[in-house]
Amino acid sequence: MNAPITPTEPAADGPMGALDPEAALLVALASLPGIGPATVWRCHREGEAERAWSAASNGRPGTNRMLAGPVGRMGAATAARLVDAARSLDPMTELSRHRAHGRRVLVHGRAGYPERLRHDPAPPAVLFVEGRGEVLAQPTVAVVGTRNATRAGRELAVHLGGELAEAGVSVVSGLALGIDGAAHQGALGDRYRPGSSGGADAAPHRAAGPVGVVASGLDIVYPRRHAELHRRVVAGGVLLSETPLGHRPMAWRFPARNRIIAGLADAVVVVESRSAGGSMLTVNEALDRGVAVLAVPGHPTAPAAAGTNDLIFDGATIVRSTDDVLHAVGLGGSSPSCPDPGPPEVTDPAARSVLDALGDTPASLPEVVARTGLDLGEVSRALVELEGSGRVARSAGWYERCGGGGNRTRRSVP
């Protein structure tokens, strides 16, 4: 069989044909045993990638400011492997390798890096990407949960993934067994079928698509059962990883990957989880980033609902339906319902002031307070009355005048 011709089109991350030296160094550093994303990030942020690599490949990683910490903490065996690896790897070759087969290598601060992660508190210095990055421009919802999902939980995840995708949301998940895989199957158009991970490819021309974030290199399929799903996610959406090719999903890489899931999401939905688990780590990362957290309620005695019920108890938004999730990201079909006003002129000065402040532009509560100069109590009271008389409608934290013109462009969560 003839080998397919790999087109040598320039990757989106660099000028035509040119290989970015910084990208090369970061890929190489990330490939070293015992060196994780935090160290690679520091090297990039401090502009020390070259010096670090040089020290490592010269057999003196412990003398380098960036590497001394990790090298000091790793065993002698790992340090020796690190030096061996540094001596045998050529950064430029590694970069080329990682850019083959249509994959892209994106560096924080350079063109092409996902906008959503630009100001992340702990962004990957270097990201490996395969597929349609543009799906990240659509609203994103992470749907996550336990690997040991119940049948009902998986069914729900499939259903939720499907409805979110239908509504134009890019569904983010980790491709793990259980809830993650089910969510993506749903997003790809499958109906619930126990034990299957195959199906037709989703229409690739849709603006939204599945977003998979994996803990392994992009060339490694984990779990193996999800090989077909892996392929479909790349075909219909995008796959990302901060792990170099050939590297297996070591246990420590999963929490790291969860922060990327949270970072890419406008909202995180936990479908099923025990009291502790990977999903709870993803929740913490979401909270750190001010990303909305929602949870599906479960039976009080169900172990797989213990974590999610805890979240709801602590104030996460309950998911009763897909609408609850859509509402959280400013979608939801329900534009604020403006009943026919018809009532008499608004004479109360505070209400008048609030109405004028809303003018043509929807506003959040703090914005209304700022625009009117009134105090919170007066504004709040006026809003209750205006909503009551059908002059103002509220949806997802935004207030707007009814019947006024105004821009109703979709907003991200306030």
Partner 1 sequence: MGSLDDAARELLATALQGGRLSARGLDRVRRVALTLADLAEHDPPLTAGQVGTALQLRAEAPGGQGLAA
**Contacts to partner 1 by CB under 8 A:** 267, 286-287, 290-294, 311, 314-317, 327-328, 330, 365, 375-385, 387-388, 394, 396-397, 413-414
Q: Nearer to partner 1 by C-beta: 218 or 350?
A: 350
- The smaller minimum CB distance to partner 1, of residues 63 and 337, is found at 337
DSSP character at residue 42:
H
Instruction: For partner 1, give the closer residue by CB, 78 or 284.
Output: 284
Q: Which is nearer to partner 1, 70 or 330 (CB)?
A: 330
Least Cβ distance, residue 138 to partner 1 (angstroms): 18
Q: CB 51: neighbour CB atoms within 10 A?
A: 16
Q: How far from chain centre, in Å, is Cα 43?
A: 24
Q: How far is the CB of 155 from partner 1 (least distance, A)?
A: 23
Nearer to partner 1, 50 or 288 (CB): 288
Q: Which is nearer to partner 1, 355 or 383 (CB)?
A: 383
Rounded to 5 degrees, φ, ψ at 379 are: -65, -45
Q: Please state, in angstroms and rounded to a whole number, the distance separating the CA atoms of residues 393 and 398.
A: 8
Which is nearer to partner 1, 221 or 365 (by Cβ)?
Answer: 365
Residues 101 and 96: their CA atoms lie apart, in Å, by 10
Q: Which residues of 366-393 are buried (b: 16+ CB within 10 A; e: fewer)?
A: ebbbebbebeeebbbebbebbbebbbbb
Q: Which is nearer to partner 1, 130 or 378 (CB)?
A: 378
**Shortest Å distance, C-beta 375 to partner 1:** 7
Task: Region of 5 please: left (phi>0), alpha (psi -120 to 50) or beta.
Answer: beta
* Shortest distance (Å) from residue 292 CB to partner 1: 4
Q: How far is the CB of 63 from partner 1 (least distance, A)?
A: 40
- Please give the Cα distance from 162 to 97 (Å, whole number): 35
Least Å from the CB of residue 337 to partner 1: 11
What is the helix (H) or strand (E) element at residue 34, kind and residue range?
none
Reading across the β-sheet that carries 267-270, which strands appear in turn? 104-107, 126-131, 238-241, 211-213, 170-173, 140-144, 267-270, 292-295, 317-318
For residue 54, what are its two tokens? 């040089």
CB of residue 104 to partner 1, shortest distance in Å: 31
Q: Minimum distance from CB of 117 to partner 1 (Å)?
A: 19
Q: Which helix (H) or strand (E) holds 142?
A: strand 140-144
